[in-house]
Amino acid sequence: MRIAIVGAGLGGLATALFLRQAGLDATVYEQAQNLREVGAGIVVSPNMVRALDRIGLASRLSESAVRLEAAWEFRRWEDGRVLFVQPMGEQCERLYGAHCYVAHRADLLNLLQRAWPREQLRLDHRCTALQQDNNGVELKFVQRDGAQTRVIADVVIGADGIHSTVQSAVARLDARFSGSCAFRCLVPADKAPAMSLRPVQTLWLGPGRHFVHYPVRAGQLVNVVAIVPAGDWRDESWTADGDIADLSAEFSGWDERVQQLIVSASNTKRWALYDRNPLDRWSAGRVTLLGDAAHAMLPFFAQGAAQALEDAYVLAACLRQADRASVPQALQRYEAIRRPRASQVQLMSRGREQRNHLPDGPEQAQRDAELAGGNPLRQSAWLYAHDLDADLERHAA
- Residues annotated as catalytic (active site), given as ranges: 214
Q: What is the identity of the amino acid at 139?
A: L
Rounded Cα distance, 7 and 26, in Å? 12
H or E segment and range at residue 315: helix 304-320
DSSP 5-52: EE--SHHHHHHHHHHHHTT---EEE-SSSS----S-EEEE-HHHHHHH
Nearest to 74 by CA among 200, 194, 204: 204
What distance separates the 2 farthest-apart alpha carbons in the chain? 64
Nearest to 330 by CA among 278, 286, 393: 286
Q: What is the identity of the amino acid at 356?
A: N
Q: Give, rounded to a whole angstrom, the gap between the first and last alpha carbons of the chain.
A: 18
DSSP 140-153: EEE-TTS-EEEEEE
Beta bridge partners of 182: 227, 271
Residue 43, helix vs strand vs coil: strand
Count of residues for the chain?
397
Rg value, the chain, Cα: 21
Q: Computed from CA positions of residues 48, 49, 51, 55, in that sequence, does the dihedral angle turn out positive or negative?
A: positive
Q: Is there a contact between 85 and 199 (Cβ–Cβ < 8 Å)?
A: no
Residue 278, helix vs strand vs coil: coil
